[in-house]
Each structure stands twice: as C-alpha cells, then as structure tokens.
A and B are shown apart, each in its own frame.
Chain A
Amino acid sequence: QLQLQESGPGLVKPSETLSLTCTVSGDSVSSRSYYWGWIRQSPGKGLEWIGGIFYTGSTSYNPSLKSRVTISTDTSKNQVSLNLNSVTAADTAVYYCARHSANDGSWGLFYFDYWGQGTLVTVSS
C-alpha cells in the first residue's frame, strides 16, 4: 500500500528557507512511471501545485514559485524534498507530498493520485 509521509518544521521565520521531506513507502521515487512532488493548500489561495521531479532529476515547477523552489530526491532513503526560500506569511499553508501521474502518451501533464496527509507550515517571527 502506497504511503507518503511529510515531515519538517512547523514554524519558519520570514526570509528563511522552508524545508520539508516526504518519505515514500510502497513505491519507489526511482520509478520510471511517475513524478513525485508537492502541492500546498492555504485559505487564501486554495490548492496550488508547486512542482515535481522525475528519477532522472528532471523537474517541473510552477512558474509562480520557480525562482524560490528546489525539489530533489534521495533514492537511498526513498525520499522527496522541498526547499522554498525567502518565505513570507503568504507561504503559510498545509504542504502535501503527492505522486504525479500522467495519461498514456501525455508525459509531463499530471494529475495527483496519491497524497500524504499534509503538514502545516506557518511563516512567522
């Protein structure tokens, strides 16, 4: 059974870097069939796709966040990580790790078939 579990600090100071880790069990982040990545949800902006990564290291980011985001994998630990720098209060949200799936023949266009339970990150001094 596929499970995704997010972990990381629940409180980050403004201008600092938000760092989260997602540990995957029941599948591999080295899978050749999926991207792995992050989505966030806030009362103000709703659900927002952040980005994803393929086992080759290829990434796809939301242009609205691209300048501040890095997503990476640690295949030895079967983990996906998110770094978001220069955070402000607007980055306060529940952050979800999610497996990115694609319809056959449409690689690079993703829906999200498995999600972690989410972790709340608050940006405040």
Chain B
Amino acid sequence: DIVLTQSPGTLSLSPGERATLSCRASQIVIRSYLAWYQQKPGQAPRLLMYGASSRATGIPDRFSGSGSGTDFTLTISRLEPEDFAVYYCQQYGSSPFTFGPGTKVDIK
C-alpha cells in the first residue's frame, strides 16, 4: 500500500496569510492521481482537488494544487476564516486508495 505523509502536522496562521501544505508518498503516484480534502469538525471531508491540480466543482481559486511523482503541495493563497480546518491528501493511483494523516490549519 502507498503510505502518505503530510507535513506539517499543524500550521498556525492568520487570516490573509498563505498556507502551504505538503503530502509525500512512499511510492510514485501514477498519473499524479492525488486528491485533497477539507474537513471541519463534525462534518464529512469535502473534495477540493483531484488529479493533483484540478479544482473540484465550486472550490474557490485561492486553492491550488501541484506536484508529481511522490511530492505534492496544496496552497491556499490567502486564508479566509472558513479555511481553518483539517486537510487530507489521498492517492488513487493504485488500489487500495489511501489517505494521509492530515494537516490541521488553525488560527494563530
């Protein structure tokens, strides 16, 4: 199984700042089949990005994704109050599809 590692574990930032989240895979993720999700307390995860860099329906353009191979990044250009949450990456280049442990973005 592909193991995903996310860093940092927690990112403390202020609204308006830029957030850079990392996801590293234990093996190459084929075709950059990497997705990102946002989860708020008491809610289900919400799809943000797929294919490493494609935004899901309705996701604002302050969210962007990049990367290939084993290293991927989610960037939030300017944090809005509603962006403080936990973010997970998920690889779907090979089954079983696996998730990272998450990065919590909290208010500084």
Contacts and interface: CB of A to CB of B under 8 A. Distances in A.
B47 A110 contact: no
- What DSSP secondary structure best describes chain A's contact surface? strand
Interface residues of B, number: 26
Chain B interface mostly helix, strand, loop or mixed? loop
B31 A49 contact: no
Interface in B23-49: 31, 33, 35, 37, 43-47
Given A46-B101, A103-B51, A117-B43, A109 B33 contact: yes
A64 B96 contact: yes
A60 B33 contact: no
Interface residues of A, number: 23
B56 interface: yes
Interface of B: 31, 33, 35, 37, 43-47, 50-51, 56-57, 88, 90, 92-102
Closest 8 CB pairs of A and B: A115-B44, A47-B99, A111-B35, A62-B96, A49-B97, A111-B50, A109-B92, A113-B47
